[in-house]
Amino acid sequence: MRTEGRELVQRYREARHDATLAVLEGFHTLKHALRFGAEILDVRTRDPAALARLAASLAPDVEARLMGLAELIDDAAFADLSPAPHPTGVMALARRPEVDVTGALAAPGPEPVVLLERPAHHGNIGAVVRVAAAAGAAAVLATGSHHPWHPASLRGGAGLQYALPVARVDDLPASNRPVVAVDPEGEGDWDAVPARSVLVFGSERAGISEALARRADLRLAIPMRAGVSSLNLATAVAVMLYRGQPNRPAPRTSPTA
């Protein structure tokens, strides 16, 4: 590997531990980051022709910017930019936005905030961010050690962390929003969630902690057939965000991928 390649690999490795940066793995992650206003610092591709074809067919709105940023990297260096090199052959670095959690919680609209308590899989966190962006949620917050801006969360979220406020928090933040614990052990009318709620979801294995559930105004279960223990975390979030939501986004009118 040439010296320039080694320096680049080092730069991408250090970025994985830098709280001001985002490592974007793969075409769709980069596409959404560009579309939702990320400040892109570096783009590398091992196959410019393949990237040009993807950009033309899936992201014509950002094609010119993306192709203007992309620089060639050799196969050996590309393989070392990530522990799991992306099959689309593109990687990028971007700045993380500063997220105003207090401001997001104070937003006056009816859209809910999603709070994940100690999620354990970056892929699940990403899937939650993706559906929250699609459904128009006000924010996604996560407690615990699995960060929603980790490269694997960004990959799972297809870079939609840039589409809404997404942040790690130490605990359920204080706000004037109703708090709803979404819990298979809950009860009540799961279709009657107050506007502006903070919807709290538990971790994949342990569920919602008793301490957090006690702080909720409501504890609601999504109905399930007898014998089924629970839904996947991201599936439960999707159900809650789309169930009878009066303010769900209108169907999109352009075919933008």
Per-residue binding letters, 234-253, with ligand SAM (x by CB under 6 A): --x-----------------
Contact assessment for residue 151 and residue 23, using Cβ atoms and an 8 Å cutoff: yes
For residues 90 and 257, what is the distance between their CA atoms, to the nearest angstrom?
A: 17
Token pair of 196 as six digits: 């502006």
DSSP state of 199: E
Contact with ligand SAM (CB under 6 A): which of 15, 54, 135, 182?
182
For residues 58 and 187, what is the distance between their CA atoms, to the nearest angstrom?
A: 43
Contact assessment for residue 149 and residue 166, using Cβ atoms and an 8 Å cutoff: yes
Contacts of 205 (CB under 8 A, 6+ apart): 120
Q: Cβ of residue 244: shortest distance to ligand SAM, in angstroms?
A: 16
Q: Does 144 bind ligand SAM (CB under 6 A)?
A: no
Q: Does 126 bind ligand SAM (CB under 6 A)?
A: no
**Binding span for ligand SAM by CB under 6 A among 23-31, 41-49, 56-64, 181-189:** 181-189
For residues 18 and 168, what is the distance between their CA atoms, to the nearest angstrom?
A: 14
For residues 220 and 211, what is the distance between their CA atoms, to the nearest angstrom?
A: 16
Q: Cβ of residue 200: shortest distance to ligand SAM, in angstroms?
A: 7
Contact with ligand SAM (CB under 6 A): which of 224, 243, 247, 249?
224
Give the residue with the Cβ less far from ligand SAM, 58 or 172: 172
Window 183-212: residues binding ligand SAM (CB under 6 A): 183-184, 186, 201-202, 204, 207-208
Give the residue with the Cβ less far from ligand SAM, 162 or 201: 201
Window 19-78: residues binding ligand SAM (CB under 6 A): none
Give the residue with the Cβ less far from ligand SAM, 39 or 185: 185
Give the residue with the Cβ less far from ligand SAM, 19 or 228: 228
Contact with ligand SAM (CB under 6 A): which of 5, 47, 101, 230?
230
Q: Does 233 bind ligand SAM (CB under 6 A)?
A: yes
For residues 144 and 18, what is the distance between their CA atoms, to the nearest angstrom?
A: 18
Q: Cβ of residue 204: shortest distance to ligand SAM, in angstroms?
A: 5
Contact assessment for residue 112 and residue 165, using Cβ atoms and an 8 Å cutoff: no
Give the residue with the Cβ less far from ligand SAM, 174 or 226: 226
For residues 80 and 76, what is the distance between their CA atoms, to the nearest angstrom?
A: 7
Token pair of 135 as six digits: 């459904």
Do the bridges between strand 70-72 and strand 218-220 make them parallel or antiparallel, or are there none, so unpaired?
unpaired
Give the residue with the Cβ less far from ligand SAM, 38 or 181: 181
Buried b or exposed e, range 227-249, using 16+ CB within 10 angstroms: eeebeebbebbbebbeeebeeee
- Which chain residues interact with ligand SAM by CB under 6 A? 182-184, 186, 201-202, 204, 207-208, 221-222, 224, 230-231, 233, 236
